[in-house]
Structures are given as C-alpha cells and as structure tokens.
Amino acid sequence: MLRRFLLVFLLAPAAAHSAGGDIRLDRAYIDSGDVLSIQRGAKVFVNYCLNCHSATAMRYNRLTELGLTEKQIKDNLIFTGEKVGDPMQIAASRKSQQEWFGVAPPDLSVIARSRGVGWLYTYMRTFYRDPARGTGWNNLVFPNVAMPHVLWQLQGTQILKTEIEDQDGHKVEHRKLVLESPGALSPLEYDKLARDLVNYLSYMGEPAKTRRVQIGIVVLFFLSLLLVLCWLLKKEYWNDLH
C-alpha cells in the first residue's frame, strides 16, 4: 500500500501536466492588497459571470471589507431583488441549466483555489473563434469548452493560426492566437480587466486571506520582541550564576 501511495504521489504532477497540455500559463500578477482592483473585478463578475455561474459561498455584504458601503453594493452590484446579506447565486436551478446547456455551469466560489490564478488569467485571454463548436468558440487551455466567450465584445475576436516549422528534420507545430477584429478595449485594457476579474475570484475563494496575513505579521513581530526579552532574561540569569 505504501508503494502504491508513493507511486500515485510521484505520478500526480506528471498527470496534471499532461492534462494541462502544452500551453504555457501566463503570470496573472494579481495583488490581494489592491482593493480597487478587486472592486473592479467584482463589477465584472456580477455583470458577466453571475448570469450563469453562482458563488454560493460568497455573500454580497463581505464586499464591505473592501471599503464599499451597503448602499454602493445595492446600487452597483445587485440587479435583482436580493438583499445585501444574501449569497451570490442565480435564479436558475442546476437541473434547468443542465437541460438548457447540456452541462450545468460550475459554482465559482473557490474556482481560483482549484484552478489557480495563472490558469484563470490565461483562460480568459485565450478564447478564439471555432465554427466547429456549437457555441462558435473554443479555448486554448480548455479545449472544447462548453462556455462561450462572454467578454468577446470587450476583447474582440481571435482566431487560431497553426504554423509548421522544420527543426532538425522534425516537424514542429506552433499555435498562436491572432486578433482578427478588435473589441471595445485595447489588448492592454482587456488584460487589465481580466487581471481584475481573476483578482476578485482569488479574493472570493479566500476573503479572510489579507486579514490573516496582517494578523500573522503582528504575531511574528510580537514573537520577535518576546525572543529579545527572553534572551536578555537568560543573559541576566546566567550573570547571577557566574
């Protein structure tokens, strides 16, 4: 049993790598302390994601920890009859979504913890047109994804181009995305929007992280002072013995 466990443990990273394909994930460079970025990401989330994806582990009133008032939350982030203390959920049931879309969109409460911020950031930026798909869209890091590109009007339309390069007698395939028609935002502006959205998803998966880090710093500072006092006490004690 021990050998089997060790074998599974050692092969798990390789399996994860193969599942992710040969796509190199981009660095998201999110900042959990950037409150304005998280606020902007929350606005993107409720406008574009909350139509299909719920976040039942997150309540609207937790956004007050980001400096928003309940009135600001109600006026800018709640578009239905929900209350500020309600969780972020959608009206449609999972059964109905299963019938409509063929698969129920997942809850996004902890998606950043399960997928990783780099994966999410790359995912939001690598949608491309694919006429073979029912939705008309595909994704580099999530091939044959069922979700359409809900932000395409902001990013624009990308197409996938494949180039074959001869390297030492071997045919090497290179795939890259090309912006066919621009959207309402420039590429840099869209990358910033995607980063804000991922920053919010990361915050939503662990809202207490920033507070916990602050408490940890205070505790370490206190322990450092205690260490100095203990060292001085030890020194004074041994001076008396000698």
Domains of the chain (ranges; CATH) run: 19-122+186-234 (1.10.760.10)
Mean of the per-residue pLDDT values for the chain?
85
pLDDT at residue 239 above 70?
yes
H or E element in which residue 180 lies: strand 170-182
- Residue bearing the bigger pLDDT, 134 or 80: 134
Note the pLDDT tens digit of each residue in 150-201.
999 999 999 999 887 777 767 777 789 999 999 999 999 999 999 999 999 9
- Per-residue CA distances from 226 to 188, 222, 240 (Å): 48, 6, 21
Residue 44 to residues 50, 76, 143, 187, 196: CA-CA distances in angstroms? 9, 11, 24, 17, 8
Angle, vertex CA 90, rays to CA 45 and CA 94, nearest 5: 120
pLDDT tens digits along 53-104: 999 999 999 999 989 999 999 999 998 888 999 999 887 877 888 777 778 8
pTM of the shown model? 0.77
